[in-house]
Copies of this chain bind each other. A is one copy, B any other.
Amino acid sequence: MARILIVEDEDRIAAFLAKGLSADGHQVSTVGDGLQGLEEALSGAFDLMVLDIGLPTIDGFEVLDQLRAQGSRMPVVVLTARDSVHDTVSALEGGADDYLAKPFRFAELRARINVRLRQQDRTDAEVGELRSGSVALDLRTRRLRVDGRETDLSAREFALAEVLLRNPGQVLSRAQLLDLAWDMDFDPGSNVVDVYVGYLRKKLGSARVETVRGMGYRFQP
């Protein structure tokens, strides 16, 4: 399952794609214009974008350009009615990961989307990025990306974030968190954990770290 953003202004095609991709188990959202598509893409809520070139407000090339300029590495499959070599090359050099000319077979689009998603998974695993919903923790640069916005973390905040993200949905006691993020196998009788959960909440958004009274904390994906 992946979260796929379709940016396409022809309703008939958008609906066709949405239906097919949903049937494959993906979670699909459709948007009909460029500016809105760019915004959604930058929100961090999607794993892949299917992008039409001919769009209202700003065209697909521009969307791609802005997206890459903002540092996003989201896989993008470009889809267009114009079957010109020039467009293909422009799109691919502009940062698209794949390009299909209409008319195309759905089976081919599906296969190409799956390749990009597979690649992304592999890259994430190798590069060391932890993702859960719209939250991504870059293990290399130690930065946190929430809804497309990046924040720096202190060493301790990072350790705590890593533990929480590696155990999404699971309740972790203060003792467990101390053990995993502080390397302390004893309780120093303090509330460090509480304090750091507070700090993380400011950066992560309060709702994402849930308090389970009497038990501990839980990261909400």
Give me the interface of A with B, judged by CB distance under 8 Å. 73, 85, 88-89, 92-93, 96-98, 105, 107-108, 110-112, 114-115, 119, 122-123, 126-128, 139-140
Contacts and interface: CB of A to CB of B under 8 A. Distances in A.
A73 B122 contact: yes
Most chain B C-beta atoms within 10 Å of own C-beta, residue among A93, A105, A126: A126
Nearest to A139: B140
A140 B115 CA distance: 23
Given A85-B107, A85-B108, A122-B73, A128 B114 contact: no
- How many copies of the polypeptide does the oligomer hold? 2
17 contacts: A73-B122, A85-B105, A88-B108, A89-B111, A92-B108, A92-B112, A92-B115, A93-B114, A97-B119, A98-B98, A119-B119, A119-B123, A123-B127, A126-B126, A127-B128, A139-B140, A140-B140
Contacts of A126: 123, 126-128, 140
A198 to B, nearest CB: 23
What 3 A-B pairs come out closest when comparing CB atoms? A92-B111, A89-B111, A85-B105
A155 B96 CA distance: 34
B85 A97 contact: no
Contact of A93 (B92, B96, B105, B111): B111
Contacts of A110: 89
Contacts of A93: 111, 114
A70 to B, nearest CB: 16
A68 to B, nearest CB: 11
Contact of A115 (B97, B107, B108, B123): B97
Contacts of A128: 126-127, 140
